[in-house]
Amino acid sequence: MVPPAKMEAREMSHEITLRAHGKAEMAYADDKPWHGLGQELVPGASIEEWQVAAGMDWKIQRAIVRYAIAHDSTPDSYMSMDDRHVLLRSDTKKGLGIVSDNFKIVQPGAVLEFFRDLTAAAGFTLETAGTLFGGKRFWALAAIGETASIADPADKMKGYLLLSTACDGSMATEARYTTVRVVCNNTLGAARNAGAKVRVTHRTTFKADCVKKELGVDVAHERFAATMQDMRRLADTRLSGTDAMLQTAELFSPGAARMAKEELLKVLDFKPVQRVAGLAIDNRAIGREMDGVKGTQWGWLNSVTQYVDHEARARSTENRINSAWFGRGAELKERAYEMCLAAADGTPAAAMTTFRRDMGGSLLDSVLDATTGK
């Protein structure tokens, strides 16, 4: 045990919080995480064991913001901002963020406590939990106990519930169902189903029971089954190479269908657009050999998730995963999923027709050849 006075949480390039003695504020059960950090727990470990192993056994405290107006140290040398508070760790006293005085704190322990009854009675299993950026952001992820296949028996999806929050004002508290494609470890939120995601801003007190009710945790298995049915529809929805390219342009630049030809060509030349479209058109994404992938909306969606989760430019692999779970990457994947579902419903045909009419067949062919390296 390191005495509290000598404990110092620090951030490394992988963004997982490390304490001065080298303990990562992360725990896991089942598979070892990507960075090799964290404490392994046996399945069925108690919530209290998870709090200690994940380094989430400290509390967030708050203090009024004070600032110096003179160089001496007399009481008159300082003023305060009563409507602004510094949030700090109880163990190291390190600052985590400056927020308004009505900011509602969600404690690290409360994120794990959320899963206590779910693991005890609903068949959920905690798999990872931890903190990022020195403790400014923290999460817990639990498997809901469901696995299913898409078009190919080997193309399996696993269901999860993710609870995450931050204490620096960078994000609300969010609980959402998500899925993981086992063959490539790509993650995707189940955005289509009502109640699949619940956000609680820090202007509102986080009430675990209310969030669970809105999520419908008692029907989590039915929600997962509905998501799998949607994904199977994507595997049955054909997507031509040209449409994959144009759909990718619309993903990265919403409104691309209404752009002038010159502007649209710039979007099509954007490297992420080229990469995602190339993965889909050439069928080079992980799991490409499975049924229902080649030339389908399902194949294109997995090209997007592969790019976001494993290839997108980032300072580190873990920074990319932070984006893929909580930030811009997660938003991009959810938008891609919505676009695929719209295509399966038959609604995006007009946009594709506009693309083709405005660009012309020969120009589209040349851009497609450049994308695929032909």
Which tokens hold the place of 155? 């193309």
pLDDT at 17 over 60: yes
Q: What is the pLDDT of residues 152-193, one digit of tens each?
A: 999 999 999 999 999 988 899 999 999 999 988 888 876 556
- How far apart CA 233 and CA 340 sit, in angstroms, is 10
Rounded to 5, what percent of the chain is helix, strand, coil? 40, 25, 35
Q: What is the pLDDT of residues 66-99, one digit of tens each?
A: 888 888 878 788 888 889 999 999 999 999 999 9
What is the model's pLDDT at position 363? Answer: 46
pLDDT at 142 over 60: yes
Amino acid code (one letter) for 176: R
The secondary structure of 107-130 as a DSSP string is -HHHHHHTTHHHHHHS--EEEEEE
Q: What is the pLDDT of residues 233-248, one digit of tens each?
A: 999 999 988 889 889 9
Task: Provide the Cα torsion 100, 104, 110, 112; round to 10°.
Answer: -70
Among 305, 151, 122, CA closest to 228: 151
**Per-domain residue ranges for the chain?**
4-57+106-230, 236-372
Indicate the pLDDT class of residue 143, thresholds 50, 70 and 90: very high
What is the model's pLDDT at position 129? Answer: 94
- CB-based contacts of 247: which residues, under 8 Å, 6+ apart? 239, 300, 339, 343, 348, 352
Indicate the pLDDT class of residue 5, thresholds 50, 70 and 90: very low
Q: How far is CA 347 from CA 52, 241, 344, 352, in A?
A: 50, 18, 8, 10
Looking at per-residue pLDDT, the higher value among 37 and 105 belongs to 105
**Residue 224: its H or E element:** helix 220-235
pLDDT at 352 over 60: no
What is the model's pLDDT at position 234? Answer: 96
- How far apart CA 367 and CA 98 sit, in angstroms, is 48
What is the model's pLDDT at position 368? Answer: 52
Query: Do 21 and 2 contact (CB within 8 A), yes or no?
Result: yes
pTM reported for the whole predicted model: 0.84
The three-class DSSP label of residue 306 is: helix
